[in-house]
Each structure stands twice: as C-alpha cells, then as structure tokens.
Amino acid sequence: MSENPTSAPRRVRWGLIVALVVVVGLVLAVVLALAGFASLMKGPAVSVKPDSTLVIALDRPLQELPPNPLFTEFFKIKVYSVHEVVAALDRASVDDRITGVLLDVGAIPAGFGKIQEIRAAVERFKKSGKPVWAYFESAGNGGYYLASSADKIFAPPSANLMLTGLLAEIPFYRGVLDKIRVEPQLYHIGDYKSYSDTFMRKDMTEAQREATNAILDSLYGQMVRGIAEGRKVTPESVMAKVDRGFLWGAQLKEEGLVDDLLYRDQVEEALRKANGNEEKWNRVEMDQYIKDHRVDPSSKARKTVALVLASGGIISGEGEGSDGGSGGNVGSATLVKWLRKVGEDKGVSAVVLRVDSPGGSGLASDIIWRQVQVLRKSKPVVVSMSDVAASGGYYIAMGSDGIVAQPGTITGSIGVVSGKFVLKGLYDWIDYREEILKRGANADMLSSGVRFSPEQEKIIEGQMRAFYQDFVAKAAEGRKMSYEDVDRVAQGRIWSGEDALKIGLVDRLGGIPEAMDLAKEKAGIPKDERVRVRVYPRPKSFFESFLDGGAEEVVRARQIRALPPELATAYAEYEQLRPLASEPFVLVAPAGLPGALAGPAR
C-alpha cells in the first residue's frame, strides 16, 4: 500500500508545531517559576513601627557600588554601600517613626574615607536630638573610631578592643623574584613614585619612608582627635590607651572607652525604656529601612544631581565584575558610557563623580579624563573622594569643577610607572626554551624572554617623561596652578586629604553631602533646596545580576572571605593589576598603604 505523498510533509509540520508548543510551554513554565521565586525573594512588606530604633550593622564590608543582590537576597550576606548608610541616617533624622540609632560595630573592613563619611552622617543625625548608641563585642581601630561618634558606647563584660594604632606594611618582592630568577625591569618618573620599588627593591627608599610616615602621622592624628572629641577626653589620654594595645572587659569601662558593660539584651532593654515602649523594643534593620520610602526628604525635589560611582582599579575597555566595578575594576568604556548618559539627560542639573580608586591604566585614565571635560560643557562635575583617589584615581578627578576629599583620603601620587618582567632566567632554570625571530628593531620590546636594550630603555624613559609632563600639565590646568607648583607636590608622592587641601590638590574637606553642595553651587541651585539623587550604575535586580554572571562573583567573593587577611590582600592586589599587564603606562598608588588598602580597622 503506497503512502500518500502529502502525508510526510504534514507529519513534519505537525512535529514542528508540537515542538514549538513544548518549547513555548517550557519557556512559560520557567518564566512563571522565576516570577514566583522572585516574589519569594522579595519577602514581607517593610513595616516601620512608631518609636523604632534604626539598627545599622557595620561589622561587614562597606563598598561604593550597590551590593550584588545575589549576596543580599540569595546568600543573605548583608553588604552595604556607603551611600545607602549615609542616606538611611539622613532620612532617619527627619523620620518621626525613628527615635534613635544603634550602631553595631566590629572590625570594619573599610578605610578612613568611608568611615569618616559615616561618622559625619552620625553627627548630622545627632543634631536632630535623637540618641545614637554603639555596641561592640570585638572591635578594632576602625570600628572604635566610628563608635566614638555615638552618644554612648556599650560592650559586654567579655568584650575586647584592639585599639593598636596604625600600621603600614609595605611589601617588597625583589628577593622572591631573585629566587625564581625573574628580573623586573621597571622604571618610574617621580622621586616618590614607589610602586615599581615593590618589585625592584628589598627595602624602602628615603623618599617613600618620608611620604609614608607623613601619611601615618596625618591619619593617626585624625583618629586620635576623633576619638578624643567623641569621648570628651584629651588626645594624650587616647594615645596612652592606644599604646596599651589590647583591652578587654572591665578595663574598657575603667579607661572610659565604654559607658557601661552590658550584654546585647540589656542594651535592647535600655533602648526600649529610652524610647518609652512599655511592651517591647521596636527595631528596624537598615537593609529593610532603605526599602521603605514613606519618608523621603527629596520626594518633592524639582532638580536632580547624578551620583556616578567609580570604584576599583582603572582598566581599558569594559570593567570587570557586575556593573563594571563591583568586581574590582573601573572600565574606561563603562564609565564613559555612564558619563555620556548623564550628560545627555536634560533632567540632570549637575554630576558628582565618586572616586574610590588607587589608579591603573594611564590610557584608560586619560580617556575618562577627556569624557569629564566633555561633560563639563553641559553641566558641572564635582568629584567626591572616598578611601583612595590616587595616581590614575587623581587623574580622572583633576579636571573636574571641584574636588572634595575626606581628611583621611589617600590622594595625589602624580607619577608614572612602566616596564616589564624578564623571565629568561626562569626559563633557563626550568629548562624551557624559546627562539625569537623578529622583523623590526624593537619587535621584542615587550617580550618577556629578553631584556630591554639600552636603546629601548631610552625610548621607554622618553615616553614616560612625556606622559608625566602631560599629567602634570593637565593637573595644573584643572587645579588652576602653575606647572612648577604642581610638579613640586607631584613626583609620585601620596598625600592625605587634609594635607592635599593645604597644597591645592583638593578644594574642600568632606564627603558626598559636601560634594553635592558644591555641585549645586556650581549649577546655581540654592544650598537649602533639596535635590533628587540619581545613582549610576543603578542597582541591578536579582535576575539581572544572575544573568550577568553575578553568581560567579559571589562564589569568588566567598572563597576570598575564607582566606587569611594577608592572602586576601595579596589576591586583591593581583586582581587589580592583572588587567594592566599589556598597558605601557601604569598610574598606581603604592601597595600596603594604611587607610587605603588595609584601612584603619586592621
């Protein structure tokens, strides 16, 4: 019996239809499942009860960019951005439902800039007449420096405090490189530009020692004065306590470092009574409070200021990590995209560029610098410096309409580094062989298999000097200083924010609010007029982060958190430098800085 010739195509068509229905059904099922999962992830609606205490846990990482929602929602790892903490405190100061704040502090993994930003927000909150209490069980320099801004400090009878002072641990790898027969051929312009010395030397130069000691003096003085003012004691008495190093239990109260020794439940009971609650203590965690927008001082604002976040090492192209920065790098293409976006947005009156970067690629820094100049033609750009804005971090800031830094910001480092690592000795040692054939006298200039020739060294030095001169000239133009005056304070030297103000590298001391005020001033907006703040990059949703590879970032971060502090720091430095391997000019601040990489909580 012969088959109908039209039946085969009909079966194929029906097969395709069935397959299409199955695929569409699967897609709908996945979408519905994801939507249901997303609704579960949202959790219950936020409810802020009257007479509530805002609880801010500051014993965890503080960053500039919005936290990855995979951390906060899926893995329940609470990570706060500085802007979130500051905004929550400022909003709570005018929220009648909030009657006080409890700071839960510990060994805060943050630098001076971020901690001073939050200290200032605490001081503004206290002006509302509402109390701020701090509680710690185990704290270091940074945690206690922050806690000292509170009205009262409490700790349990078994608490410990490592108020040890500041430490700069400057690494030198030359001995290690010699052992594995790797020869660093690195060069720098600037007497104080010491980053290359990390690999070229086994000890500090006198110039590096001078600059580092000046930073330590400045930051230590700020910490001592801040604690003394907060605890209403003399700086000398604070230094005496610091020199004791490790204090615990009853010693904390005897030395006046805490107001009383209370367990957490006793602190909560005291807060309940202070708030006038007869039944129970009402509290709201900060991560929940920031989701409640019933009290928003800027809700009726007519004008908008963009807050553009640039956090991490500076590299060419797209940044690594979610949103081009939270994984550790600021990509020039990514940041330029954001700056262009706010430039084209007619609803944005001014821009605050928040910089937290030790630098990176010279090329990428210059590309970003140029976009800042383009943006300034349409609206004012003011820079707010966080923990560190040095070398390339200063490069992208210097051409703005104004620079605001915290007293403890690490900045400056106007200098340049270039060179390569020669692996010929290592190759011979492990009996690896390669033969080099070339066309062109300098085809092997960047090869790791051969040293620079004398002629190539002259080429490198000439190009570096030209880049340095351009760096200084642009800084002089941006800061309205002479070339000679900038060159005198440049030379690769790092400065604290308070010292940078004295020599003209920054305009004001303060944080994001002060930068906002300056941006409003430049835009002709009255100082007392509230503005809406629009943050770039915008926080990603849970699924946006997942689709953009955020899960990989979470896994890597969890692995790093398990490392000893020294290895975690070394890995962070490696990740920062890895993308710079192919860059001819590197603008990076020296490693091991107090308040920059390690922070005062160490």
- pLDDT for position 271: 87
Q: What percent of the chain has pLDDT over 90?
A: 65
Tell whether 150 is covered by a domain: yes
Q: Are residues 353 and 408 in the same domain?
A: yes
Cβ atoms of residues 263 and 156 within 8 Å: yes
pLDDT score recorded for residue 538: 72
pLDDT of the residue at 32: 41
Higher pLDDT, 140 or 560: 140
pLDDT for residue 281 is more than 70: yes
Residues 266 and 355 in one domain: no
Average pLDDT, the chain: 85
Average pLDDT over residues 294-311: 84
Same domain membership, residue 405 and residue 258? no
On the question of pLDDT at 382 being above 60, the answer is yes
pLDDT of residue 70: 55
- Look at residues 534, 330, 405 and name the one whose alpha carbon lies nearest to residue 117: 405
Is residue 405 domain-shared with residue 520, that is, in the same domain? yes
469 and 540: one domain? yes
Measured distance CA(74)–CA(36) in Å, rounded: 14
Instruction: Name which of 200-209, 224-233, 276-285 the model is least confident about.
Output: 276-285
**Average of per-residue pLDDT across 163-185:** 93
Give yes or no: residues 265 and 351 share one domain: no
Per-residue pLDDT of 568-583, as tens digits, reads: 666 666 666 665 566 7
The three-state secondary structure class of 56 is strand
444 against 562, higher pLDDT: 444
For position 291, what pLDDT does the model report?
A: 82
Question: Which pLDDT band, with edges at 50, 70 and 90, does 81 fall under?
Answer: confident
Single pTM value for the model:
0.85
How distant is the alpha carbon of residue 141 from its chain centre?
Answer: 19
Kindly tell me the sign of the dihedral angle through the C-alpha atoms of 247, 252, 257, 262: positive
For β-strands 152-155 and 183-189, DSSP reports them as unpaired
Q: Which of 99, 105, 98, 97 is nearest to 80 (CA)?
A: 105
Reply yes or no on whether the pLDDT at 554 is more than 50: yes
With CA atoms as reference, report the closest residue to 382 among 187, 519, 231, 568.
519
Identify whether 47 is part of a domain. Answer: no
Q: How far apart are CA 305 and CA 384, in angstroms?
A: 13
- State the average pLDDT over residues 221-234: 97
- pLDDT higher than threshold 50 for residue 322: no
Assigned domain for 20 exists: no
What's the pLDDT score for residue 63?
85
Q: Which of 8-12, 165-169, 434-438 has the lowest mean pLDDT?
A: 8-12
Judge whether 112 lies within some domain: yes
Q: Does 176 reside within a domain?
A: no
Going by C-beta distance under 8 Å and a sequence separation of 6 or more, which residues neighbour residue 507?
A: 402, 403, 404, 501, 518
Query: Phi, psi (5° rounding) for residue 503?
Result: -100, 5
* Total domains, the chain: 2
DSSP code string of 546-570: HHTTHHHHHHHHHHHHTS-HHHHHH
**Whether residue 119 sits in one domain with residue 81:** yes
Helix 565-577 to helix 550-561 angle (10° resolution) is 140
CA 246 to chain centroid = 29
Tell me the C-alpha distance between 159 and 148, whole Å: 16
Phi, psi at residue 419, to the nearest 5°? 140, -160
User: Residue 306: is its pLDDT beyond 50?
Assistant: yes
Domain identity same for 392 and 268: no
Cα-based angle 342, 357, 204 (whole degrees, multiple of 5): 160
* Structure tokens given for 29: 């099922």
User: Which of 265, 289, 313 represents a domain boundary (last residue)?
Assistant: 289
| Residue pLDDT, tens place only, 497-519 | 999 999 999 999 999 999 999 99
Domain final residue pick, 289, 318, 352:
289
Name the H helices within 43-100.
Answer: 69, 82-92
Residue 71 predicted with pLDDT over 90: no
- Residue 474, pLDDT score: 98
Least confident window among 103-112, 275-284, 381-390, 588-597: 588-597
Residue 597 lies in a domain: no
Whether residue 265 is found in the same domain as residue 342: no
Percent of the chain with pLDDT over 70: 78
Same domain, 575 and 483: yes
In a domain, 202, yes or no: no
What's 480-514 look like in SS3?
CCCHHHHHHHCCCCEEEHHHHHHCCCCCEECCHHH
Q: Region 330-358: what's the mean pLDDT?
A: 95
- Is 63 in contact with 82 (CB distance < 8 Å)? yes
pLDDT at 35 exceeding the cut of 60: no
Type of residue at 451: R
Axis-axis angle for helices 112-126, 512-523 (nearest 10)? 80
What is the band of 290 on the pLDDT scale with cuts at 50, 70, 90? confident
- Least confident range of 115-119, 424-428, 540-544: 540-544
More confident call, 9 vs 64: 64
Q: Note whether residue 193 is domain-resident.
A: no
Q: How far, in Å, CA of 458 to CA of 141, rounded? A: 47
What pLDDT score does 572 carry? Answer: 63
Q: What is the CATH number of the domain that holds 72?
A: 3.90.226.10
Residue where a domain terminates, one of 289, 324, 353:
289
Both tokens assigned to 50: 């009257």
Strand-pairing partners, residue 246, are 162
More confident residue, 34 or 392: 392
Catalytic residue among 194, 311, 365, 391: 391
Q: In which band, very low, low, confident or very high, does the pLDDT at 318 lie, cut at 50, 70 and 90?
A: confident
367: tokens are: 């590309």
Are 62 and 136 found together in one domain?
Answer: yes
Please indicate, yes or no, whether residues 333 and 274 belong to a single structural domain of this protein: no
Assess whether 218 carries a catalytic annotation: no
pLDDT higher than threshold 50 for residue 152: yes
- pLDDT over 50 (residue 225): yes
Residue 205 has pLDDT above 80, yes or no: yes
Q: How far apart are CA 358 and CA 392, in angstroms?
A: 7
Contacts of 109 (CB under 8 A, 6+ apart): 60, 61, 62, 599, 601
| Cβ atoms of 208 and 118 closer than 8 Å | no
- 536 is in which domain, residue-wise? 304-417+464-588
With the C-alpha atoms ordered 362, 366, 372, 373, is the resulting torsion angle positive or negative?
positive
